Amino acid sequence: MNRLKQLFITLPFLITMSLNSTAQKQRNFLALGDSYTIGEAVSAAESFPYKFKEALVKQGHPVESIQIIAQTGWTTDELQTAIAAETLSPPYDLVTLLIGVNNQYRGYSVANYRVEFEQLLRQAIAFAGADTERVRVLSIPDWGVTPFAEKEGRVAEKVAKEIDAFNAAAKEISENLGVVFIQITPHSRLAATDLSLLATDGLHPSGKMYAHWVQSLLA
């Protein structure tokens, strides 16, 4: 059974269909993260939360609202601070979490990331009504293959190794808490030879790459 079916078919309270009516429950979606979530350097419509919403609607799963708590440059602790200051309306039908690239970029430790990432993921689960089936974690893309990294004089292999370490921690924690971990990092590395996967800033994903993320979420 694919992830979309797990999310919307095995959970009857997510799809309220009547034998005598075609009306469906309007769902709400909470996306937590950083620049990769808001879609830095692309339009909102090209970002993965809105592309995901579009895909769900096309498959007959209407989404009423998307709430995004994300900002370029945020680390795990900054996302935690922002969440604490935000007005939220749980439970959400779907919560995504993608965070950690700026921890790596700033040279923060994986050990510290593990602590704060787990706290964030537990919050995400709580926002989803304590239902882990409603939560998805996306892996951190590898920015080390981008023109931006080259201009900064970064060594791609070193960035890749560090990104892999952060992702290994996120994957382990996600699996321990029963949350699906979506691996998008390998596809992000294709930008080394395909610049169409990058936005005009030479760093962040293009709509084309975000479309692949959505397919990974739906697979």
Runs of H (alpha helix) within the chain: 3-8, 35-38, 48-58, 76-85, 101-105, 110-127, 147-151, 156-176, 185-188, 207-218
- Strand 27-33 and strand 94-98: the pairing is parallel
Instruction: Report the C-alpha gap between 107 and 162 in whole angstroms.
Output: 9
* 20: containing domain: 3-218
pLDDT of residue 26: 75
Q: Compute the distance between CA of residue 22 and CA of residue 113 in angstroms, rounded to an integer.
A: 45
pLDDT over threshold 80, residue 3: no
The answer, yes or no, to whether residue 203 has pLDDT greater than 50, is yes
Task: Copy the structure tokens of residue 119.
Answer: 């706290």
Q: Kindly tell me if the per-residue pLDDT of 8 is higher than 60.
A: no
Summarised one tens digit per residue, pLDDT across range 44-100 is 999 999 999 999 999 998 999 999 999 999 999 999 999 999 999 999 999 999 999
Looking at the structure of the chain, the number of domains it has is 1
Strand partners, 172: none
